[in-house]
């Protein structure tokens, strides 16, 4: 759990080559002959440079594309291309100025660069350039980030995927920490097997410095667990922390700037009063409510006996487990767990009443010398009671009165995350997005672990002689975290600098005071001596941008101007600036923008938009670009279905029979399974039927040796048995009665309806809930739902997680479908793959969800969608 919740600094370099030649030719005619990732971490401030040198070995010009993935918390600060001895530098400009330059380029028909969000922690930077025959290009990208301590450690995750074995491949990491490095560990895919021999760790200067190098040979680059003919594809994970012998913190001064790291661990933990406010509205149905229950059960088990807690659930009504806070005794916890197990989704969303009830619960039971915390989990907007967001925020702020923090957890992308962010910041808390994924329960637990052990409250940091300070007031300090303050020193001639921290520990005031000599020789190497100034600028800009959501009027405008001024001075690509890259092709211009946390979407194009409309974000929740298994029991005679065409998205519960060449549904009834297939750009999905009984190849990824097959019986809904295989030794058989897993050595038997069961080994994760099983094998994640209808149990599969670049096949693997509805014909007709297919509008139940929502879809024949016969997808053995 600690590993999953800790901060990840992700550096991923990847090159994609594009040319007019065929794919095989492209690989042979583009040579990445040098690929370096160099990361220097000085006192937690990481500066990373990704450099790649590429040769066009073709006897004609071709376009070479450069794509790297960087952490969302990082700021790009430099990009350059060098071609035939000439360097083209990116220049950071105010967005409006960049917009003008970009518009001029667009008017000449030229393309834009690209920066987009690609997951929970990454943004994608992408550009391309045309390189002459037998010429070379060097790409260099620099970005900067302050590492954040979580759960007692920092993490540096370096992922390499250069798309081919590279003759000169190097990753160099140099970590310099003044107090000394207490521990350091290197792990990850690229540290296993033969590749482990390519890693070297060197400590020096009494552990003040550590070098980690990774220099694999071309042969080694093809032999790791996830490597192949395209070379490396994996990560190095470097985890470390620093010595903390001085409880007053670590202070560094350099060239008129200072930074203070404060993380005492010699103070007793404070017992806490925590109230969990849980959304149980209808939108929390299915997996979300199950994962919430699962996380709460684990969190309750982690409460200390001197903690007090309360549970509130809400939809259109607010329900309290108990009216008062109760001590976390064994009996109370068991009672609370029984309450949690009975939480069911229903109704609308009254956030205002629920949060105010939580505030009232804490206010009515004050305990001296404790820390109070409110944690709200919701997945939607307020829809009943008080729905005006501004009024809700005003009510909550007035009720809390700066007495304790409110932490808001937004589940998925339908939630109004800006609202949660503002409401939490107004009340000394933070907002965190919980991604709709197979590990959502672990995300919830991970957040709780970060706030589980409060050590100090009401922390005030003072710096006589300091100015332009970053944030100096904090409501709580938690074990395993770190408070960081940076600023400028007003008088560079002073010989000493004093810090003072005043806080409350278990109801008593404590003071930490320290003085350092500013004239002492610097521990910072000359090449990194400007890092502290850049650290101050980075932290200042980050905090100014975060505060924008709270401010109004002139104050907001003033801070925005200050953030812009610093972004331009230090050449940071932020939400206020853009990087303009002028390319050698007749002055072609590309513009790269910093994405903002948004509600969804497929990435972030680099054309410069207005100030506040930069959001773009893609996450795995339910990937709707793959077919969803549906149920269709009273179906048509499939033998006459060849004239159908359908489109699908989400399913619907009750449904009629499709028409066969007439406007009257036929009386013939054949039991079939119906599958949904979403179509990009269309509001209604396609659906198609597969007659019962059958044994189907549901999903397959040959590259990772993953396959899933399912067997259906006559006159029964869904599947009575599903088999999942991974590599040669992992075999999972799921039936309506039991689950059997064999890994080549051990065999595990599990019954449906047992208590929560988890199994993790060798890249395989199995989590069995009451009526649901989450399966992750390698990089493919699926969910099997157990249903009961008309007294008969059956299973439904769904894909929940997979990398974008995986080539999935099988009935559930179809993703490249499109259609256009033709107008004018008496019978509804869709144009698919240049063929006209007759269709009918149907409703179906989506059994990927326990709530089985109902949806309309266009019913089409199997052959029209899959471009193959059903026999091509059948198997003889599961």
Integer angstrom CA distances of residue 275 from 67, 95, 361, 373, 447: 45, 43, 8, 7, 15
Q: Give per-10-residue mean pLDDT for the chain (878 aa).
A: 34 34 47 93 93 91 83 90 87 80 57 53 77 91 93 88 89 93 90 88 86 93 79 86 92 91 92 94 87 90 93 93 93 94 88 95 89 92 90 94 92 86 92 84 87 93 94 94 95 86 90 83 57 95 91 91 94 89 64 60 31 26 40 33 23 28 36 82 84 88 89 83 90 90 83 73 81 87 87 86 80 84 77 85 81 83 86 84
> In this structure, what token pair is assigned to residue 762?
């060798």
Q: Going by DSSP bridges, is the β-strand pair 136-146/772-777 parallel, antiparallel, or unpaired?
A: unpaired
Per DSSP (E only), the strands in 57-134 are 62-71, 75-83, 86-94, 114-117, 122-131
Element spanning 296, H or E: helix 287-302
Residue 467: per-residue pLDDT: 93
Do 462 and 443 lie in one domain? The reply is: no
DSSP 3-state of 7:
coil
> How many structural domains comprise the chain?
4
Residue 337 inside a domain? The answer is yes
Residue 280 lies in a domain: no
pTM of the model: 0.66
Confidence at residue 614, expressed as pLDDT on a 0 to 100 scale:
31
493 shares a domain with 386: no
462: Cβ–Cβ under 8 A, 6 or more apart, which residues?
Answer: 472, 499, 500, 501, 502
* 173, 322: one domain: no
Helix axes 287-302, 330-341, angle to 10 degrees: 180
Q: Both tokens of residue 176?
A: 């310099």
Residue 275 belongs to a domain:
no
Q: Are residues 400 and 512 in the same domain?
A: no
Please state, as a whole number, how many other Cβ atoms lie within 10 Å of the Cβ of residue 15: 20
CB-facing half-sphere around the CA of 457: CA atoms within 13 A: 21
**What are the backbone dihedrals phi and psi of residue 54, each rounded to the nearest 5 degrees, phi first?**
-130, 140
pLDDT reported for residue 523: 54
Considering the domain boundaries, does residue 234 fall inside one?
Answer: yes
Q: Judge if 868 and 745 occupy the same domain.
A: yes
Residue 831 shares a structural domain with residue 703:
yes
Say if residue 548 is in the same domain as residue 586: no
Domain boundary at 593, 625, 651, which? 593
Could you tell me if residue 400 is inside a domain? yes
Rg (the chain; Cα; Å): 29
CATH number for the domain spanning 398: value is 3.40.50.410
The pLDDT of residue 403 is 92
Same domain assignment for residues 72 and 169 = yes
Domain membership flag for residue 805? yes
Q: Is the dihedral of CA 415, 419, 422, 423 positive or negative?
A: negative
CA distances from 122 to 9, 70, 95, 412, 561 (A): 9, 5, 22, 17, 27
557 shares its domain with 587 = no
For residue 17, being part of any structural domain is answered with no
Check whether residue 293 and residue 235 sit in a common domain.
no
Range of the domain at 746: 672-873
Residue finishing a domain among 450, 475, 506 = 450
Domain boundary among 406, 424, 450: 450
Peptide bond into 693 cis (omega under 30): yes
Report if residue 515 sits inside a domain. yes
Do 123 and 70 meet the contact criterion of CB atoms below 8 Å apart?
A: yes
Burial of 82 (0-12, 13-18, 19+ CB in 10 A): middle
Asked whether residue 212 falls in the same domain as residue 81, the answer is yes
Q: Are residues 107 and 234 in the same domain?
A: yes
Residues 416 and 432: their CA atoms lie apart, in Å, by 12
**Cα–Cα dist 248/792, whole Å:** 66
Q: What is the CATH number of the domain that holds 97?
A: 2.60.40
> How far is Cα 82 from Cα 84, in angstroms, rounded to an integer?
7
């Amino acid at each position: 759990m600690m590993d999953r919740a800790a901060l990840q600094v992700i550096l991923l370099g990847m090159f994609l080559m594009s040319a007019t030649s065929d794919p095989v030719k492209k690989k042979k005619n583009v040579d990445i002959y040098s690929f370096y990732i160099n990361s220097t971490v000085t006192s937690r401030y990481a500066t990373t440079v990704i450099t790649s040198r590429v040769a066009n070995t073709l006897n004609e010009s071709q376009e070479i594309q450069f794509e790297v993935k960087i952490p969302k918390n990082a700021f790009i600060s430099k990009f350059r291309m060098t071609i035939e001895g000439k360097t083209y530098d990116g220049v950071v400009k105010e967005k409006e100025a960049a917009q003008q330059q970009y518009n001029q380029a667009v008017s000449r028909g030229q393309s834009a660069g690209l920066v987009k969000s690609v997951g929970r922690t990454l943004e994608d930077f992408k550009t391309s350039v045309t390189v002459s025959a037998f010429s070379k290009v060097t790409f260099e990208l620099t970005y900067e980030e302050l590492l954040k301590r979580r759960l007692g450690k920092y993490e540096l995750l370096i992922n390499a995927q250069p798309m081919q074995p590279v003759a000169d491949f190097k990753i160099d990491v140099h970590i310099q920490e003044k107090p000394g490095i207490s521990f350091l560990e290197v792990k990850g895919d690229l540290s296993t097997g033969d590749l482990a021999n390519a890693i070297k760790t060197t400590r020096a200067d009494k552990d003040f410095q550590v070098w980690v190098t990774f220099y694999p040979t071309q042969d080694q680059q093809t032999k790791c667990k996830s490597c192949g003919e395209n070379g490396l594809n994996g990560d190095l994970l470097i985890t470390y922390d620093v010595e903390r012998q001085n409880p007053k913190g670590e202070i560094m001064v350099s060239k008129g700037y200072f930074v203070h790291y404060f993380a005492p661990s010699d103070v007793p933990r404070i017992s806490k009063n925590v109230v969990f406010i849980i959304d149980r509205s209808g939108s929390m149905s299915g997996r979300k409510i199950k994962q919430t229950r699962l996380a709460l059960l684990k969190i309750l088990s982690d409460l200390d006996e001197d903690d007090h807690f309360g549970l509130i659930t809400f939809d259109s009504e607010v329900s309290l487990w108990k009216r008062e806070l109760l001590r976390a005794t064994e009996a109370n916890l068991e009672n609370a767990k029984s309450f949690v197990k009975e939480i069911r989704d229903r109704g609308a969303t009254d956030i205002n009443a629920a949060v105010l009830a939580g505030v009232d619960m804490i206010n009515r039971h004050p305990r001296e010398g404790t820390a109070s915390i409110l944690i709200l989990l919701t997945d939607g907007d307020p829809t009943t009671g008080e729905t005006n967001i501004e009024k809700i925020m005003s009510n909550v702020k007035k009720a809390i009165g700066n007495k304790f923090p409110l932490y808001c957890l937004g589940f998925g992308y339908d939630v109004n995350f800006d609202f949660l962010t503002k409401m939490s910041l107004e009340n000394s808390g933070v907002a965190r997005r919980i991604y709709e994924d197979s590990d959502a329960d672990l995300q919830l637990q991970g957040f709780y672990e970060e706030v589980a052990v409060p050590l100090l409250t009401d922390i005030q940091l003072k710096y006589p002689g300091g100015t332009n300070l970053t944030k100096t007031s904090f409501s709580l300090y938690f074990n395993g975290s770190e408070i960081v303050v940076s600023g400028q020193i007003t008088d560079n001639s002073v010989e000493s600098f004093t810090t003072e921290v005043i806080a409350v520990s278990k109801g008593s005031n404590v003071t930490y005071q320290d003085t350092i000599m500013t004239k002492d020789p610097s521990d910072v190497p000359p090449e990194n001596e400007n890092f502290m100034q850049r650290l101050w600028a980075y932290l200042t800009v980050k905090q100014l941008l975060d505060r924008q959501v709270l401010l109004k009027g002139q104050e907001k405008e003033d801070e925005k101007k200050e953030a812009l001024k610093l972004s331009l001075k230090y050449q940071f690509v932020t939400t206020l600036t853009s990087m303009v890259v002028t390319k050698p092709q007749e002055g072609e211009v590309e513009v790269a923008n910093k994405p903002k946390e948004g509600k969804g979407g497929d990435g972030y194009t680099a054309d410069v938009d207005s100030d506040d409309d930069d959001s773009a974000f893609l996450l795995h929740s339910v990937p709707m670009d793959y077919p969803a298994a549906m149920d269709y029991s009273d179906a048509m005679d499939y033998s006459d279905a060849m004239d159908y065409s359908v489109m699908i998205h989400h399913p619907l519960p009750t449904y009629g029979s499709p028409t066969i060449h007439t406007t009257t549904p036929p009386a013939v009834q054949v039991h079939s399974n119906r599958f949904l297939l979403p179509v990009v750009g269309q509001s209604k999905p396609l659906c198609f039927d597969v007659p019962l009984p059958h044994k189907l190849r549901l999903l397959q990824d040959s590259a990772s040796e993953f396959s899933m097959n399912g067997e259906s019986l006559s006159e029964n809904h869904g599947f009575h048995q599903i088999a999942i295989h991974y590599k040669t030794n992992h075999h999972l058989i799921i039936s309506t009665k039991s689950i059997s897993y064999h890994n080549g050595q051990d065999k595990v038997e599990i019954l449906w309806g047992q208590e929560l069961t988890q199994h993790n080994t060798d890249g395989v994760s199995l989590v069995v809930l009451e009526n649901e099983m989450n399966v992750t094998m390698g990089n493919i994640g699926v969910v099997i739902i157990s249903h009961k209808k008309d007294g008969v149990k059956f299973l439904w599969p769904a894909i929940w997680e997979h990398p974008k670049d995986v080539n999935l096949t099988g009935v559930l693997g179809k993703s490249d479908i499109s259609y256009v509805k033709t107008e004018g014909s008496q019978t509804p007709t869709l144009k698919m793959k240049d063929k006209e297919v007759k269709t009918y509008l149907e409703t179906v139940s989506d059994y990927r969800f326990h709530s089985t929502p109902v949806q309309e879809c266009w019913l089409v024949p199997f052959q029209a969608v899959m471009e193959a016969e059903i026999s091509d997808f059948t198997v003889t053995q599961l």
